[in-house]
Each structure stands twice: as C-alpha cells, then as structure tokens.
Amino acid sequence: MNNPLIMVGSVTYAIKGRDLLRRMGYRANMERTPASLNRVGCGYSITVDDLDAVKAAKILGENGIKVYGISDGDTL
C-alpha cells in the first residue's frame, strides 16, 4: 500500500507543509503528483508516513496551507 497524497496548490506550499509536519515530528516528504491526479496547482503533493492523511490535511489547513484533495495511495 502506498501512502496517500495530500495535494497542494504550489511547490512553495508543498515545501512549507512538509517542513511544518517535520517540525511537528512527522516523517513528511513531497513528490510530484501523477498527471492523472493533477487537476489543480503545480503538481506537487505531500506524503506522511506516520500520520493519518486527514489529520495531516487538517494541520496544514490550520496553518494556512490549502489542501486541494487527498488521493488514496493505492489508486496511483
């Protein structure tokens, strides 16, 4: 099973979101969003190894990072 992708609107927000989650102690990474899933933004997403994607998206939103969607990692 792959980690879900938390899709954001720009590479800048992907970097800020990844860094925010890392500062909170989570193993977060960013990667290109597959073209089949990229409906908005620049095509970057955040993955989190040890945190529920919905909880991570909530943390991001509370810190000013707009989340455009969460993709089930198995649909890639």
The residue extents of the domains of the chain are: 5-70
In this prediction the pTM is: 0.84
How does pLDDT run across 9-62, given as a tens digit for each residue? 899 999 999 999 999 999 999 999 887 776 665 689 999 987 789 999 999 999
CATH of domain 5-70: 3.30.70
Alpha-carbon span 65 to 59, nearest angstrom: 9
Non-local CB neighbours of 49 within 8 Å, separated by 6+ positions: 3, 26, 27, 28, 29
* Other beta carbons within 10 Å of 59: 18
